[in-house]
């Protein structure tokens, strides 16, 4: 495999400077739609590089935490303005390195813009509380305080949006950052940090170390001077991160897997439900933690829904995301493609009916990339592996249910709890579903994807460990509450003892 021109060589960003990895090694970043295209070469970082980055963040922290939050926020605001002007360039580069279609990468960049603007606004709204004291001549209040160095480990499927979810609240709260982007999508993080630097971010406040999980990632999360870790990725790796944080009581935020469901009731608008299922199941080639990889359909409309869904999915155009006619891009890499192919075999062996798709695309325009057909299994059973396990690819399992009660039971019978959706015109059923579905996010008459930056994002069970991304909820992870009492009575007051 050869590239006609010399690939661009990118570097780590440490203490305000772009630096090569100390070990001198680098890895390739290739276009998953055309693996002959080299996007760039990025440094393979090790423990020494991580130590340098954490030391820089530690040294920058005292001055950054004392900069007034509105002034920190002004830097974020300028960065958002720059992202607006460069949106198309950023989106096209993201499609080249990640594969999803331009409409989606434009949305990814827009989400980073939205999050940056939102958190810039929080620079003047890092509100605490004031409260009347139970004692006379005593004032009581609480304020948010920064924590220190934040280690951010981000995935490849939203290579600007998710880094912004983590980085912007961390920065506006007064923390410094070391981020390790996914090996498949480091260019988008490079762009994001470059823009922050141009906006006036002081040196050392944000640092980037590229590399793999066992090398750069493990060194980062175990570092003694890292005070908190925010990780988005698989549940299996999340357990490793949690175990690494536990001995020193690092604050730990985990955003992990999902096996999300769409419930289609007998009174649903089927045209709308089909469109939602196509977008939820095959947007980003199913490579979303919120992807709708399960659909439970009321038995009275099951046949009609399946026929419509299969017809729509068969018509999807799969190809290079830079082609404006493409509706679904490739899998991110060969390993992910092989995972998808493995689960197709699992579904067939379990007795599910392959209604469409099921094969790798490897001829013609697809021959140089990691493409797979959008795939639907029907007549599935709730305990099948393809219904229970996260595939993270363009595979959707459809099953019939007797009604709302059984639908909710099937929905909750998985180890994950991120997102769920219901299509119904019955307001009573909608509210029962919103109450009883065991997920962090519920949509009514919309697919399982489409989170907005001003609302909390996250899940329960094996999806997360209680923290949330986005909105003011993110501030709770990246800051600590400090309670302050001012007694101006000029005498000893012993709270509950003197207040009995």
CATH topology for 261-444? Answer: Aldehyde Dehydrogenase; Chain A, domain 2 (3.40.309)
pLDDT for position 7: 83
- Which position among 173, 252, 289, 380 bears the catalytic label? 289
Residues lower than pLDDT 50 in the chain: 1-3
Domain boundaries of the chain, sorted by first residue: 12-256+464-482, 261-444
- Rounded Cα–Cα distance for residues 492 and 500 (Å): 15
pLDDT for position 5: 63
Radius of gyration of the chain (CA): 24
pLDDT for position 1: 45
261-444 matches 12-256+464-482 in CATH topology: no
Q: What is the pLDDT of residues 136-147, one digit of tens each?
A: 999 999 999 999
Greatest Cα pair distance, the chain, in angstroms, is 85
The residues, ordered by sequence, that sit 6+ positions from 268 with a Cβ below 8 Å of its Cβ are 298, 301, 423, 424, 425, 445
- Which position among 255, 373, 390, 469 bears the catalytic label? 255
> Which pTM does this prediction carry?
0.96
| Coarse DSSP helix, strand, coil percentages of the chain, rounded to the nearest 5 percent | 40, 20, 40
pLDDT for position 3: 46
CATH topology for 12-256+464-482? Answer: Aldehyde Dehydrogenase; Chain A, domain 1 (3.40.605)
CB 202 within 8 A of CB 60: yes
Based on DSSP, count helices (H) and strands (E) in the chain, helices before strands.
15, 23
Is 255 one of the catalytic residues?
A: yes
As beta bridge partners, residue 397 has 294, 377
- Rounded Cα–Cα distance for residues 282 and 17 (Å): 40
Q: Using N-to-C axis directions, what is the helix angle for 161-172 and 102-122, rounded to 10°?
A: 10
pLDDT for position 369: 98
The residues, ordered by sequence, that sit 6+ positions from 376 with a Cβ below 8 Å of its Cβ are 306, 309, 310, 313, 354, 355, 356, 357, 395, 396, 398
| Pairing mode, strands 294-298 and 395-401 | parallel
Instruction: Tell the burial category of 230 from Cβ atoms under 10 Å away from its Cβ (0-12, 13-18, 19+).
Output: buried
Query: CA nearest 186: which of 37, 83, 43, 335?
Result: 43
Q: What is the pLDDT of residues 170-191, one digit of tens each?
A: 999 999 999 999 999 999 999 9
Structure tokens at 31: 């276009």
pLDDT for position 499: 76
- Rounded Cα–Cα distance for residues 4 and 180 (Å): 29
The position carrying tokens 């089909």 is 274
């Amino acid at each position: 495999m050869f590239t006609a021109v010399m690939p661009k060589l990118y570097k780590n960003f440490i203490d305000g400077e772009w630096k090569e990895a100390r070990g001198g090694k680098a890895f390739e970043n290739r276009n998953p739609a055309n693996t002959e295209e080299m996007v760039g070469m990025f440094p393979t970082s090790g423990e020494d590089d991580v130590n340098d980055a954490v030391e820089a963040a530690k040294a920058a922290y005292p001055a950054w935490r004392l900069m007034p939050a509105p002034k920190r926020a002004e830097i974020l605001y300028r960065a958002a303005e720059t992202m607006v002007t460069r949106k198309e360039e950023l989106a096209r580069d993201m499609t080249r390195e990640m594969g999803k279609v331009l409409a989606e990468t434009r949305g990814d960049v827009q989400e980073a813009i939205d999050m940056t603007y939102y958190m810039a606004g929080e620079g003047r709204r890092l509100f605490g509380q004031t409260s009347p004291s139970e004692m006379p001549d005593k004032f009581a209040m609480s304020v948010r305080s920064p924590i220190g160095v934040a280690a951010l480990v981000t995935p490849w499927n939203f290579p600007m949006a998710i880094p912004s979810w983590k980085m912007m609240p961390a920065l506006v709260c007064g923390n410094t950052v070391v981020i390790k982007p996914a090996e498949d999508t480091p260019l988008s993080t490079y762009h994001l940090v470059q823009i922050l630097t141009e906006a006036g971010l002081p040196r050392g406040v944000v640092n980037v170390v590229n590399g793999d999980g066992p090398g750069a990632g493990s060194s980062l999360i175990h570092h003694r001077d890292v005070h908190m870790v925010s990780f988005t990725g698989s549940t299996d790796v999340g357990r490793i991160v949690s175990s690494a944080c536990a001995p020193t009581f690092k604050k730990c935020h985990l955003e992990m897997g999902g096996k999300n469901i769409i419930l289609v009731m007998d009174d649903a608008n089927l045209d709308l439900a089909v469109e939602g299922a196509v977008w939820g199941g095959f947007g980003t080639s199913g490579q979303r933690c919120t992807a709708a990889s399960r659909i439970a359909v009321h038995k009275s409309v099951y046949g009609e829904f399946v026929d419509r869904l299969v017809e729509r999915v068969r018509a999807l155009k799969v190809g290079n995301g830079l082609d404006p006619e493409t509706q679904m891009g490739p899998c991110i890499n060969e390993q992910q493609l092989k995972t998808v192919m493995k689960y197709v075999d699992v579904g067939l062996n379990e007795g599910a009916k392959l209604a469409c798709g099921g094969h790798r695309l490897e001829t013609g325009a697809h021959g140089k990339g990691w493409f797979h057909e959008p795939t639907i299994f029907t007549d599935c059973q709730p305990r099948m592996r393809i219904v229970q396990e996260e595939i993270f690819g363009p595979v959707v399992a459809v099953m019939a249910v007797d009604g709302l009660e059984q639908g909710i039971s099937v929905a909750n019978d998985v180890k994950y709890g991120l997102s769920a959706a219901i299509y119904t015109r019955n307001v009573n059923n909608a509210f029962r579903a919103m109450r009883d579905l065991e997920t962090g996010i519920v949509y009514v008459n919309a697919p399982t994807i489409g989170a907005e930056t001003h609302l909390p994002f996250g899940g329960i069970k094996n999806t997360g460990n209680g923290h949330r991304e986005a909105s003011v909820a993110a501030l709770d992870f990246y800051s600590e509450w400090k309670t302050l009492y001012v007694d101006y009575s000029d005498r000893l007051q012993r709270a509950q003892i003197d207040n009995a």
